[in-house]
Amino acid sequence: MSSASSTPPWNVRRLPRADGSVFLVTGANAGIGYFVAEQLSATGATVVLGSRDPAKADVAMASIRARVAGARVRAVRLDLADLSSLRPVVETLGVDRLDAVVHNAGVALDDPPRRETGDGHELMFGTNHLGHFALTARLMPLLSAAPAARVVTVGSFAAKSERLDLDDLQSGNDYRPKRSYGRSKLAQMYFGFELDRRLRAVGSRVASVVVHPGGALDSLTPSRPPIQVRTAGARLSAAPAALLVQGKHAGAWPAVRAVLDPAVDGGQLWGPRVFGLRGEPRRERVWNHLADVSVAARLWDKSRDLTGVDPGDLPGPSEGHVPRTFL
């Protein structure tokens, strides 16, 4: 396998081949998740669209097949707001290994009232963070079976200005929808970094990478009817915003690079090049508050207690362990 130093410069429009690989993308029937799946499908990999709505997943698969010749795409039902539904996910996938999972799915509420999942968790925290936390635990046997799997967690630029309240993770005392969303994405990002620390501690070849899409607007996103429709008027009115932000197709680039690029390593943060808001993906310095390992460890313990599973519950390195390499 070629080393990172011998690979050509990264080009978002000329992705490396990944024939034989299997990638799962949560929330892949719309938005950034759709474009992550569409772009990954152009590499020759099998891309599994995780969606809680089979009909919408069918539409997304048809769209990808219409744009990517020979695309190997299929769907699996995933409802991250229902933790019990995640138990059979390994059998449902029907594969012997998983080369990457992109934790993209998410719920964003703009207005009260506060809502809960069927498990009694605040909807955004329960879906965006706890759902992916539990899903990772279920998928770890498949990820560990791959030569060099990656867990890619899609955070948000909105999390940069937030801080977790470890005594009120589920906004039971003070619910503000936009803040609760930002904190749920911040929890996801803490999880991604803490997961990599725990994987490294046991010598795992699985790597955990955190990314964020910057500013990604529907009005700057190419049309993919009926999934995404951009009118001429919307395109014109959004033109000034393109100086600062981008469409969701470009918001997908950091996650796609985190899956495919041999230069990406676990424990890193990747986002858009220009002010963290737009442009091609680059590695960023980990935000100061995300580097607080004590907060990450306490969040992990609370998440384990709330879900009843532990993604880091892995055996130690086996004798003759081979250092992990990358796709």
Is the pLDDT at 291 greater than 80, yes or no? yes
Backbone angles phi, psi at 49, to 5 degrees: -90, 115
Q: Which of 34, 175, 181, 190 is catalytic?
A: 181
Q: How far apart, in whole angstroms, are the C-alpha atoms of residue 97 and residue 145?
A: 5
- Encode pLDDT of 134-176 as tens digits: 999 999 999 999 999 999 999 999 999 999 999 999 999 999 9
Check pLDDT > 50 for residue 321.
no
Q: Which of 323, 303, 263 is nearest to 136 (CA)?
A: 303
Cα–Cα distance, 208 to 191 (Å, whole number): 9
Going through the chain in order, the beta strands assigned E by DSSP cover 22-26, 46-51, 72-77, 100-103, 150-154, 207-211, 216-217, 246-247, 269-274, 278-284
Determine whether 181 is an active site residue.
yes
| Helix, strand, coil percent content, the chain, rounded in steps of 5 | 40, 15, 45
Q: What's the predicted TM-score (pTM) here?
A: 0.93
CA 319 from centroid of its chain's CA atoms: 32
pLDDT of residue 326: 31
Report how far residue 10's alpha carbon sits from residue 13's, in angstroms, rounded to the nearest whole number: 9
pLDDT band of 231, cuts 50, 70, 90: confident
Could you give the angle at the alpha carbon of 50 between the alpha carbons of 185 and 217, nearest 5°? 50
Helical segments of 202-247, H only: 232-238
How confident is the model at residue 242, as a pLDDT?
Answer: 86
Give the up-direction half-sphere exposure of residue 289: CA atoms within 13 A in the CB hemisphere: 11
